[in-house]
Structure 1
């Protein structure tokens, strides 16, 4: 097994973090352009949100394919090929002649984007020992935030200068260059043991994961938290594009620098587990996310940025803990267990606009905050339940 901070650990972690950055650059590049796309195509806020929703929905579906498939044929090849196809899709998006074509291409891109997230943490679970896994997952999820920031900065910055097509073209070229480096860096697996793919067995594994209460709790926690977190960013762009802020696409892209708070909390999450249990860290993360949402209610750009940064700290702390919890608790078919977590995660993202849109229409940003707190109360209860269960298990172990 690969140990923490060994040469092999750094090489593998760097490769997977690079792959993560490329995935999220491609996924989130259109987000700061949503107000512009809404005006360009004459669609509603809910309609233009489909640019994000169809990609995340397709990604969620792809995870059900790539996760079980990786348990049979290996994980490295899936990551390499799907990253390559992702870059090619972005080049195609640059040439999309209509909104309908754009949505169709985003649907295809969302599917191939699922290749790396479906199997990356399972790859770590195969090859890394437990301390190496926890440390690597924190850095990997921190790379998610860097990819999200990078995609939005490219989409907003390049898109404002040369239009959305130029933004997609830039993203595609950056992705293909990154894929070449990823291809070279990722080590050959040493611990992976293939299982013959059988549809019935794959379905049985997925059903077993869903019946596992500790896994199901993590799935719901991750999915609902992401539903709120990522869709808050979509609605904040609508808020900040209007008076009194009147921010352009470039400055809307800069708003996503608040993700750096999540980069920091994800990187430090491994250290926190030395002192606190994973469910305790999930609880803390959700409370921070709820508090950050309250801060964004202040009608000041500086306070809104502060609140979004706090949100990122809390969300990514809870997310890194929940995703590593799944890898730790899964007893078999780790690839499909990790993939199922991400199915819930991205399904939540794709459904978030349906949940928050009525709150936005009736109450503006205050309505979005209220809708957020309602669901975050559910995930807080889940985290407290996991925390209580782990404390009981520890007492039983000590009594023995």
Structure 2
């Protein structure tokens, strides 16, 4: 088993962080382009938002395949091959002839992008000692945020020069180069013990995880929080592209630098949890997300950015600890347990537009804020229940 802060730990962690970065740069590159694509293809706000929703939904569904499959055939090959295919999909997006083909390619890309997230944390659970897991997961989630930031910033900046097609070409090329480095860095996990894949066994494992209230709480927490967080960014692009802000694609891409608040939160989440407790920190994270949402109601662009940064800190603090919570309390079949967390996570993201759209149409950003608070009250209640469980376990 790999011990914390050793050379082997750093090499493995950096490899997985790079893979995570590449996944999320591909997933989120279209987001700052949504207002421009909406105009170019003459579709509605909900219609163009499907470019994000279909990718996150197919990613969620792929986790049900890759998670159990990784328990049978191993983790490394799945991560390497799917990452390569994801880069190829980004290049293909640049040459999509119409909106329908763009949606289809995003559907396929979302599926292959699920390969690495489905098994990365399970790989850490196999290879790392328990003391090394929390800090590794925190850095891995931090790389998620950097990938998300880079996809949006690069996508917006390149589109300003060469249009959306150029953005997809640049990100695709970056992914293929990064994939070669990932293949070389990632070691094989010698602690992995394969189990012959059996559909019935896989379904039993998934059902067992869903019957475990300790895991189900984390699944619902991650899914509902992400439903709000990621879709707030989609609707804020429409708000800021309109008057009086009138931001171009490059300016909208820079808005996503607020994710750096989440990068910082992910990196320190393990240390904060050791000083208090994971559940307490998750409660604080939800409360911070609610507070940041309130700040975004102000008309000042500076305060909107401050509010989004606060949101990112609160969301990723909770997400990092909820992910490691699943690894800690799963009773066997870690691959499918971690995958199921991400199924809830990305299904939540794909449904967010349907939840927020009526509020957006009815009351603009104020409506989005109220819709957010309604569901965040639910997740705050969930974290309270997790804290009660944690206290009982410590007695």
Alignment of 1:134-153 (within 5 A): 134-153=134-153
Cα deviation for residue 139 of structure 1 reads: 0.3
Q: 1:13 offset after TM fit, Å?
A: 0.2
Q: Which digits, 9 at most, give the CA deviation of each residue in 1:315-353, with x for residues without a partner?
A: 000000000000000011000000000000000000000
Q: Whole-Å Cα distance in 2 between the matches of residues 212 and 50 of structure 1?
A: 32
Root mean square deviation of aligned Cα: 0.5
Give the whole-Å Cα distance in 2 for the aligned partners of 1:390 and 1:298: 37
* Counterpart in the other structure of 2:247: 247
Match in the other structure for 1:202: 202
Paired position in structure 2 for 1:116: 116
2:56 match: 56
Q: What do residues 282-310 of structure 1 show as CA deviations (whole Å, max 9, x unaligned)?
A: 10100000000000000010000000000
Equivalent position of 2:21 in the other structure: 21
Structure-1 residue corresponding to 2:302 = 302
Which position in structure 1 is the counterpart of 2:266?
266
Structure 2 alignment gaps of length 5 or more: none
Matching of residue 335 in structure 1 with residue 324 in structure 2? no
SS in 2 for 1:372: helix
Give the Å deviation of 1:131. 1.8
Task: Describe the SS at the equivalent of 2:327.
Answer: helix
**Structure-to-structure mapping, 1:1-400, within 5 angstroms:** 1-395=1-395
Any idea what SS the aligned residue of 2:89 has?
A: helix
* Counterpart Cα distance in 1 of 2:3 and 2:381: 35
Q: Deviations over 1:247-282 (max 9, x none)?
A: 000000000000000000000001112111111111
1:136 Cα deviation after fit:
0.3
Q: Once the two structures are superposed, what CA deviation does each residue of 1:20-58 show, in whole Å capped at 9, x if it has no partner?
A: 000000000000000001111110000000000000000
Aligned length: 395
The unaligned stretches of length 5 or more in structure 1 are 396-400
Query: Runs of 4+ in structure 1 displaced over 6 angstroms?
Result: none
> Cα distance, 1:99 vs. partner?
0.3
1:389 CA displacement: 1.3
Instruction: Quote the Cα distance in structure 1 between the aligned partners of 2:347 and 2:276.
Output: 29
Once residues 276 and 16 of structure 1 are traced to their aligned partners in structure 2, the CA distance between those partners, rounded to angstroms, is 27
User: SS of the residue aligned with 2:275?
Assistant: coil
Distance 1:314 1:338 in 2: 21
Q: Structure 1 residue 394: deviation in Å?
A: 1.1
Residue number in structure 2 paired with 1:398:
none
Between the aligned partners of 1:40 and 1:21, the Cα distance in structure 2 is: 29
SS in 1 for 2:276: coil
Under a length normalisation based on structure 2, what TM-score does the superposition of the two structures give? 1.00
Q: 1:130, 1:41 → 2: CA distance?
A: 50
Shift, 1:124, TM fit? 0.3
Measure the CA separation in 2 of the matches of 1:288 and 1:190: 40
Q: TM-score, normalised by structure 1?
A: 0.98
Question: How far apart in 1 are the matches of 2:41 and 2:89?
Answer: 21
Return the alpha-carbon distance in structure 2 between the equivalents of residues 136 and 389 of structure 1.
Answer: 25
1:273 partner SS: helix
